[in-house]
Amino acid sequence: MKKNASRTLVSIICFILAFTLLVGCSSNNGGTKPQSSGTDSGSGEPVKIVYLTPGDSAAKPIQPGDRIIAEINKRLGIELEIKFVPEGGFEKINVAMATGDFPDVVTAQYPSSSLSQWIEEGLLVPLNDYLPDMPTVREKLEDKFSWTAVDGKYYGYPFIEEKSNATMTYRADWLEELNIAPPKTLDEFYEALKAVATKDPDKNGVNDTYGLTGAKENGFNSSFNFIFYAYGLPYGDWILDDNGKVAPVFEHPAFKQGVEYIHKLWEEKLIDPEFLLNDTQKREQKLFQSKAGFMIAPLFRHVNRLEKSLQELTPTGKLGFIDPPAGPEGTHGVVGDKKGGLFTAVTTKAKDPKKAAQFIEFMLSPEGRELLELGFEGIHYTKDGDKINYNEEERAKDNFASNGWAHPLAWGNVVWPVTRNYLPQTEPQADRAKQSVEIATSNLVPNLVNTTTPEEIEMGGVFGAGILSELANQYYLDMIAGKVDIDKGLAELSKKWREQGGDKVLAAVNAAYEAQQK
């Protein structure tokens, strides 16, 4: 009896082992369920990752059953839940973090006081230990953004746009009508503005056109900064004074020359007097509604949209874009290089930080970009040689934007289309759009100091937002409009700017600059 019982027990154990192996093999058959690696329990269950991000305002909402999300889950062994806030809605993200209801992965504004506070309070996980599994992120950090480390630790991936799409945009049909070549110098630019403002280029018999328009902005108004760069302003953020110390840009001779030039345009009514009331949309409307001839504006995928809007009102209208005018020494530029953007990080709430870090890597990696921009070959698109045929019906099922544009998760977290020079093959005037980026990027002005100090975040500087920027902005506008004498205004601005916190900011920026030189 004991011998039979032993045989029976052995048979039961063998059956259980065989059944377990069978179930284990079938559960991973065809990759339909993730591997158990990367889970806390080793149970084989996917790791839940909640991702909070501003996303892209042009994207569709992600609906249940999205096959792209399912594929990401499958490849990474995760269960991804995405929570979008409106583009630029960082306050909602800040509130979520402040209340303790924060996600596993978050995209924040960089730099910002909130982000600095999260790092100080230990709410973000340093990525250093996970960089061996993040080759794309690691290469970017080491090659471009090593200066974003805090005490040697990378607390997230900083997406800072390396290209520009802002350039001089103009009514090419008007210049042809007036028999004027696109201006290459400040002198030629002045003559072109004067002709646009006085020679009735729209042929409506009314003196209602202006040469140059702009838009309101936070803090210091930079619509006309290309004029300062033409006069030789060397950096997009600060300057060095005669003693080699960091100083505000309004203390450079090019700033005074630029203000004098702009004041002349204002006095002669060559500038749209409502430019401070314009947002981006109104500024564009001034061009295609035949109210202004020139403006600095973002182009790239907007080239065709703007020209199409122009031609709806003026069928013969033509949109042009060129390098900004050069000054006496041949210098030119449009905007300063960027120091800020987005910051995607892993929080301490993540049960599996390694998996969360791999998710950030996937969004930036070549295979991740291909999936998010195109989808599955044979389902979302097919190829005929180099030509891509978009299956819009299938793409719509997975929330891709129309006309060959991408999945909702593609943009607004670790990259934007202009960074990758990405346009679908359906994009009209794609060659001109890409050309506009080449021109704009060639006119980026370098910064003197890589980082933005906490003091700048708190009080501002010259450009951007903050009480110091607002002070500089007000003096700048008053000098342009002739309300304040330029020499007197610059002297007062230097004194008041320093008294109201500028000295504190300069001390911090000088320390950052000195550290950068080591």
Domain boundaries, the chain: 47-162+340-374, 166-333+441-517
Q: Is the pLDDT of residue 157 over 90?
A: yes
Question: Which of these, 296, 164, 329, 328, lies nearest to 222 by C-alpha position?
Answer: 296
How much is the average pLDDT of 261-290?
95
Q: Is the pLDDT of residue 435 over 60?
A: yes
Q: What single-letter amino acid sits at 347?
A: T
Q: Is the pLDDT of residue 2 over 60?
A: no
3-state secondary structure of 51: strand
Name the helix (H) or strand (E) containing 159. strand 157-159
Q: What single-letter amino acid sits at 128?
A: N
The encoded tokens of residue 342 equal 């987005």
**CATH 3.40.190.10, domain 166-333+441-517, yes or no:** yes
Contacts of 451 (CB under 8 A, 6+ apart): 111, 147, 148, 339, 512, 516
**Considering the entire predicted model, what is its pTM?**
0.87
Protein fold of 47-162+340-374: D-Maltodextrin-Binding Protein; domain 2 (3.40.190)
Residue 173: half-sphere exposure toward Cβ, Cα within 13 Å: 17
3-state secondary structure of 53: strand
How much is the average pLDDT of 319-338?
97
Q: Where is average pLDDT lowest: 216-220, 329-333, 405-409?
A: 216-220
Task: State the CB neighbour count (10 A cutoff) for residue 402.
Answer: 12
What's the pLDDT band for 219 if we cut at 50, 70, 90?
low
**What distances in angstroms separate CA 102 from CA 92, 126, 203, 254, 385, one per listed residue?**
11, 17, 59, 47, 46
How much is the average pLDDT of 259-266?
98
Name the helix (H) or strand (E) containing 137. helix 135-143
Q: What is the pLDDT of residue 28?
A: 30
Q: Is the pLDDT of residue 34 over 50?
A: no
Q: What single-letter amino acid sits at 198?
A: T
How much is the average pLDDT of 138-165?
95
Q: Is the pLDDT of residue 4 over 60?
A: no
Of the chain, the percentage scoring pLDDT greater than 90 comes to 84
Question: Which of these, 234, 257, 218, lies nearest to 473 by C-alpha position?
Answer: 218
Q: How far apart are CA 158 and CA 152, in angstroms?
A: 15
Q: How far apart are CA 113 and CA 103, in angstroms?
A: 19
**What distances in angstroms separate CA 180 from CA 172, 219, 369, one per listed residue?**
9, 35, 44
Of the chain, the percentage scoring pLDDT greater than 70 comes to 91
Q: What average pLDDT is seen over the chain?
A: 90
Question: What tens digit of pLDDT does each residue of 465-474 get?
Answer: 889 999 999 9
Q: What single-letter amino acid sits at 185?
A: T
Q: Where is average pLDDT lowest: 15-19, 71-75, 401-405?
A: 15-19
Answer yes or no: are the C-beta atoms of 250 and 498 closer than 8 Å: no
Q: How far apart are CA 74 and CA 356, in angstroms?
A: 14
Question: What tens digit of pLDDT does each residue of 38-72 get?
Answer: 444 455 789 999 999 998 878 888 999 999 999 99
Q: Do domains 47-162+340-374 and 166-333+441-517 have the same CATH topology?
A: yes
Per the listing, tokens 């601005």 go with 493
Q: What is the pLDDT of residue 44?
A: 74
What's the pLDDT band for 33 if we cut at 50, 70, 90?
very low
Tell me the β-bridge partners of 79: 48
Question: What tens digit of pLDDT does each residue of 372-397 get?
Answer: 999 999 999 999 999 999 999 999 99
Q: What is the pLDDT of residue 477?
A: 94
Name the helix (H) or strand (E) containing 21. helix 2-27
Q: Is the pLDDT of residue 220 over 90?
A: no
Burial class (CB in 10 A: 0-12, 13-18, 19+), 189: buried
Q: What is the pLDDT of residue 117?
A: 94
Q: How far apart are CA 359 and CA 75, in angstroms?
A: 10
